[in-house]
Structure 1
Amino acid sequence: MGEELTQTEFTREHRREYRRKVQLCLDVFETMLAQSSFDFEKPLTGMEIECNLVDADYQPAMNNSEVLAAIADPAYQTELGAYNIEFNVPPRRLPGRAALDLEGEVRASLNAAEAKANSDGSHIVMVGILPTLMPQHLSGHWMSESTRYQALNDSIFTARGEDIDIDIHGPERLSLQTASIAPESACTSMQLHLQVSPGDFANNWNAAQVLAGPQLALGANSPYFFGHRLWAETRIELFAQATDTRPDELKTQGVRPRVWFGERWITSIFDLFEENVRYFPSLLPELSDEDPVAELAAGRTPTLSELRLHNGTIYRWNRPVYDVVAGRPHLRVENRVLPAGPTVVDMMANAAFYYGALRALSEEDRPLWTKLSFSTAQANFEAAAQYGLDARLYWPGAGEVTPDELVLRHLLPLADEGLRRWEVAAEVRDRYLGVIEGRAKSGRNGAVWQTAAVAALQGRGMSRPAALAEMLRLYCERMHSNDPVHTWELPT
């Protein structure tokens, strides 16, 4: 959820001082990149899984505070919506059989959390957008109790000065206005972290941007919002629109959105933080007592609180992260492309595919992004979000291809080679890349299964709301089986 704030209202002087501190932090960060010793010798990976809560009828359950009290595990935290929780998976290294151990631990933790949630009459669901969420669910007390979330909501609407338009074209167009950022809470994702050295950051971020389209086409799992069938991964467009601080006039002027793919390949992590400071006004201008210049001069590692807080309000799909653990600074690429679910094994497969392909692409002698325009990478991403496995993607050397062809012919061998370089055991590579291969060959990801299941249920005479609830019940059954989504049967 990000760090909690102590206040929701900020004066003009406060905002001016915050801007000065952010710039100061950026200057110190530039010095650190040139002089400091960053922790990267034994790189760690991390995972965050955002989940939804539903009641016995598979409708949103606005009781995350009660569920979290029952779970009583610091790995589980609140998220924006009162029907959301987040599971933070402890960081670990990739080599050997670590991923298999992690799969077992994640399943055990989620099963234990589910059992405790059941005592409160709730179920935990891993899905990109909760299919049964409807407008009436976000009209009352939908927000988690948090100063940060209230301040974020207030700041976005202060900056915008008017209600937010949600207008998504798909098989069934959805158009509405909202007076809060409530629709953002519908977007639940899986975030993947990779610790990298300052020198390797640019190659890894550029490679992650190249991979974003294929990643999303494979993993799409959010076809419904407010009862409408929209994009294969509706979460992408919904998140962008629900947090947009720009009225139409600023969009026309070319002001950049807070949810941002970016606009260029980079040569350093500094490029991204410098863009953050140059292009984006503050949303949560909370000041710390730290003097980063004095901290660095004293031989200590500054936390750069203002720079990190500002970075946390700019929602890049691949976000740069600066953090300090046990007094040592480190850098991470945070991949925010994928939705949650459908199963733990599907998410582990998505992670293995990403980490493997990222390693191979980032180490190529002639990087792929030197043969691909940035705008084409963004077009791939947007096409994948809208059409999923039916998208057409451009790939250097292959031309315009379908995601299944791209994955099977080009990316799976790359991912396997990258995992070999990570010294990942053969059985791990076979298990998880086998899931990706099966998904590509069958043409079935979470979005495909959801829409086919709803169509089958409506074909029996069910209304759309009833079909969505029954589909979600069947989804949850299969989610707990841990069988990958491409093997799921459809209702008959």
Structure 2
Amino acid sequence: MTDRSTSNPDSARDSSHKKPGRGDHREFTRELLRDLQALERMVAEDQIESDVCRIGAEQELFIVDRNWMPAPLSSELLEELDDSHFTTELARYNLEVNLDPLVLSEDCLTDLETQLRNSIAKAEAAARNHGGSIVLAGILPTLSRQHVSLGYMTPAERYRQLNETMTRLRGGPYDLRIKGRDEMMLRHDNVMLEACNTSFQIHLQVSGQDFIHRYNVAQMISGPVLAATTNSPVLFDRQLWSETRIALFQQGTDERSPHLAQFRSKPPRVSFGARWLERSAVEVFEEDIARFRTLFGGGLGENSIGELAAGRVPQLLALRQHNGTVYRWNRPCYGVSEGRPHLRIECRYIPAGPSIVDEVANAALWLGLMVGASKRFENPADLLPFGAVRRNFLRAARSGLAAQFLWLDGKQITAQRLLLDELIPLAREGLLDHGCAADDIDRYLDIIEARVDTRTTGANWLVRSHDMLSEVDTISGRAAGLVQEMHAHQQSGKPVHEWPTLEPSRPTGKYCATVDQIMTTDLFTIHPDELIHLAAHVMDWKHVRHVPVEDERQRLVGLISHRVLLRVLSRQATAGESSSMRARDIMATEVIVVTPDTPTLDAIELMGKNEVSCLPVVNDHGELVGILTERDLVRIATPLLRRFLNHAQNGDTVASDS
């Protein structure tokens, strides 16, 4: 919820182009502590606005090109849009839209949807002028490792400083390990993994005196709300958690040193929190200032205590800037609107998408529960242990509507039953009590009810559709098919529970341009010191004709072919020998390799010229990341050839894939 009448602390970060020194950090810390003191005084003296309840939202977007791949066009779109509601994000293929605040009453939900539709339509029109489109997705299925390189980072000083400072604090690369239906283990050297995540962030303004209760309610309902709104199950073609963003954001920006993690219990910057609030809103800010170093230096020039003494409302620029670098899933926010200070709770865990109407329905569920549960439950801390609430949240992230929760009175209940039997009706009550239009409440919460009843969240739709495409298309082809279908449904305006599961489509040559789009990544390898009999068994068990040989660091050191192995074993059998030969004794060491970005046509030419039937694929460090075989080429070529011959027999011109 952006206040357009006051200066934005984010813009203050942009204005500093010098590298912060220790003195700069000391000045910033002085201002930060003054801001905290000023906030404590404003809360104690009841200066925080309390006679109105506003809502707001921030929409994060993906920009894609004609092939549904991430398109680094944010600068071009922002220049064309020329609209202060739009701003940059970490990556050049993302945008953020800040919607205008609305009073929580009457037609606010319809007004929220209208704002969203108008903003996204405006962005879509600008994107089309540059050969692109706008897609709402928690994680875009067509993202690949190349899209999280620094070349895709938005060229702003604050992002450069963010990356440098957090990586320096960590002392090395970021380690990602997420285990779901598939498993992802990844080491990355910058913070750009954060750019894989986009969200639909909802704000609710609360009074200073009511903040503790409302914030604890926000924590209590997080698990069930997340279970109903998951939309991010696929990352780099791996099916992970129902809401993979929860793990990805935390691990991809974790500044904690891995060498100290086993000894210290310091929480990450991205967290759910560790306990119920007890005193005031200031408590959260105190905790975050005590635990997390400032990432940006330099004083911002505000003396908040002096502003209060002069009878003016301080902006608390340092506090807001530091708060913007601590990523609680329920985050407290301070702002100034029409000259009056206010506090908000920002819900950050709900993903972008699947459609605009789904997002407004998600907002209706969260807002309805925030007011309904606040009225029904006097003190969440008396009802549930905080550890149970945090576990509910993580279970929802992993399993969505299938998650099993610990709820009131020690009851074990699935997310689906809890939502249908208790929480959706409670959200209806809350919105009605706040004067929201009954027709709007029915429209949006009926969408939630149908989604939960049919178990068709965005995550479930993506997993089912991904499964349907897994055996009939390339990695890039199925990812592009998913994004294309998501965009079409988003344009139709239908909620996700009305989307049909994506059926396998006729493969085309559009998504076969480079080796990484068609190579096999499920590899069977052996170590140089393994017996050659193991290689023979692997070939027999897994029906492969080549076994790469790699060392302990996954670097390719050789290749054993079916033909060479058969020749060696045949000679030994003829001689009646029992061999103890190792892989290193027979492997080819002069191996022709390619990289993931090698054009497919170049790889085909290389295979023909050198009369080889496979090409191991290695990255810049010599690590084995895939293998391209004749079988991969036949798998792609067969439907294309069939299509070509069918057209030729019918006397038709072969249709273009564009």
- Per the TM superposition, whether the score is higher than 0.5 is yes
Q: Which residue of 2 aligns with 1:259?
A: 270
Moved more, 100-109 or 312-321: 100-109
Q: Which residue of 2 aligns with 1:333?
A: 345
Moved more, 301-310 or 397-406: 397-406
Q: Which runs of 4+ in 1 moved over 6 A?
A: none
Q: Which residue of 2 aligns with 1:276?
A: 288
Aligned pair 1:51/2:61, yes or no? yes
Are residues 452 and 9 of structure 1, via their aligned partners in 2, closer, same or farther at CA, if it must alter by over 3 Å? same
Residue 109 of structure 1 deviates from its aligned partner by: 2.5
Aligned pair 1:19/2:25, yes or no? no
Give CA-to-partner distance per residue, 1:34-85, whole Å, 9 cap, x none: 1252223121100101000110000110111112222222211111111000
Residue 102 of structure 1 deviates from its aligned partner by: 2.6
Q: Which residue of 1 aligns with 2:334?
A: 322
Q: Given residue 283 of structure 1, which amino acid in structure 2 is its aligned partner?
A: L
Helix, strand or coil at the partner of 2:255: coil
For 1:366-381, list aligned pairs within 5 A: 366-381=378-393
Q: Would you say the 8 A contact 1:53–1:83 is kept in 2? A: yes
- Paired residue for 2:190, among 180, 201, 215? 180
Residue 184 of structure 1 deviates from its aligned partner by: 0.5
| Number of positions where the alignment pairs a residue of Structure 1 with one of Structure 2 | 491
Are residues 360 and 488 of structure 1, via their aligned partners in 2, closer, same or farther at CA, if it must alter by over 3 Å? same
Q: Would you say the 8 A contact 1:8–1:148 is kept in 2? A: no
Helix, strand or coil at the partner of 1:199: coil
Q: Which residue of 2 aligns with 1:401?
A: 413
Cα distance in 2 for residues equivalent to 1:301 and 1:445: 43
Q: Which residue of 2 aligns with 1:363?
A: 375
Cα distance in 2 for residues equivalent to 1:200 and 1:265: 14
Aligned pair 1:207/2:210, yes or no? no
Q: Would you say the 8 A contact 1:70–1:117 is kept in 2? A: no
Give CA-to-partner distance per residue, 1:419-469, whole Å, 9 cap, x none: 01111111011001100100110001001001111111224x112321111
Q: Which residue of 1 aligns with 2:258?
A: 248
TM, length-normalised to structure 1: 0.97
Q: Which residue of 1 aligns with 2:619?
A: none
Moved more, 365-374 or 43-52: 365-374
Q: Given residue 304 of structure 1, which amino acid in structure 2 is its aligned partner?
A: L
Q: Given residue 117 of structure 2, which amino acid in structure 1 is its aligned partner?
A: R
Identity of aligned residues (%): 39
Cα distance in 1 for residues equivalent to 2:502 and 2:307: 61
Moved more, 283-292 or 378-387: 283-292
Aligned pair 1:289/2:301, yes or no? yes
- Paired residue for 2:486, among 462, 471, 475? 475
Cα distance in 1 for residues equivalent to 2:73 and 2:87: 13
Q: Would you say the 8 A contact 2:35–2:318 is kept in 1? A: yes
Are residues 103 and 330 of structure 1, via their aligned partners in 2, closer, same or farther at CA, if it must alter by over 3 Å? same
Structure 1 runs not aligned, ≥5 long:
none
Q: Which residue of 1 aligns with 2:151?
A: 141
Q: Would you say the 8 A contact 2:148–2:195 is kept in 1? A: no
Q: Given residue 487 of structure 2, which amino acid in structure 1 is its aligned partner?
A: C
Are residues 329 and 154 of structure 1, via their aligned partners in 2, closer, same or farther at CA, if it must alter by over 3 Å? same
Q: Given residue 26 of structure 1, which amino acid in structure 2 is its aligned partner?
A: L
- Paired residue for 1:65, among 75, 98, 119? 75
Structure 2 runs not aligned, ≥5 long:
1-8, 504-658
Moved more, 325-334 or 123-132: 325-334
Give CA-to-partner distance per residue, 1:102-137, whole Å, 9 cap, x none: 313321321122012101011101110111000022
Cα distance in 2 for residues equivalent to 1:8 and 1:313: 19
Give CA-to-partner distance per residue, 1:128-152, whole Å, 9 cap, x none: 0111000022235111121111111
Are residues 82 and 365 of structure 1, via their aligned partners in 2, closer, same or farther at CA, if it must alter by over 3 Å? closer
Helix, strand or coil at the partner of 1:51: strand
Indicate the structure whose relative CO is greater, using CA pairs within 8 Å and at least 6 residues apart.
1
Q: Would you say the 8 A contact 1:71–1:117 is kept in 2? A: no
Q: Which residue of 2 aligns with 1:119?
A: 129
Are residues 292 and 368 of structure 1, via their aligned partners in 2, closer, same or farther at CA, if it must alter by over 3 Å? closer
Residue 318 of structure 1 deviates from its aligned partner by: 0.6
Helix, strand or coil at the partner of 1:301: coil
Moved more, 166-175 or 442-451: 166-175
Are residues 164 and 53 of structure 1, via their aligned partners in 2, closer, same or farther at CA, if it must alter by over 3 Å? same
The structure with more radius of gyration? 2
Residue 234 of structure 1 deviates from its aligned partner by: 0.5
Give CA-to-partner distance per residue, 1:191-241, whole Å, 9 cap, x none: 101111001111111111111111111111011112211111101100001
Q: Would you say the 8 A contact 2:46–2:209 is kept in 1? A: no
Cα distance in 1 for residues equivalent to 2:407 and 2:80: 48
Q: Would you say the 8 A contact 1:361–1:368 is kept in 2? A: no
Q: Would you say the 8 A contact 1:78–1:85 is kept in 2? A: yes
Q: Which residue of 2 aligns with 1:382?
A: 394
Cα distance in 1 for residues equivalent to 2:18 and 2:390: 35
For 1:95-174, list aligned pairs within 5 A: 95-139=105-149, 141-174=151-184
Moved more, 25-34 or 394-403: 394-403
Residue 398 of structure 1 deviates from its aligned partner by: 6.7
Helix, strand or coil at the partner of 1:133: coil
Q: Which residue of 1 aligns with 2:462?
A: 450
Q: Given residue 425 of structure 1, which amino acid in structure 2 is its aligned partner?
A: A
Cα distance in 2 for residues equivalent to 1:93 and 1:237: 33
Q: Which residue of 2 aligns with 1:217?
A: 227
Cα distance in 1 for residues equivalent to 2:289 and 2:502: 51
Q: Would you say the 8 A contact 2:150–2:192 is kept in 1? A: no
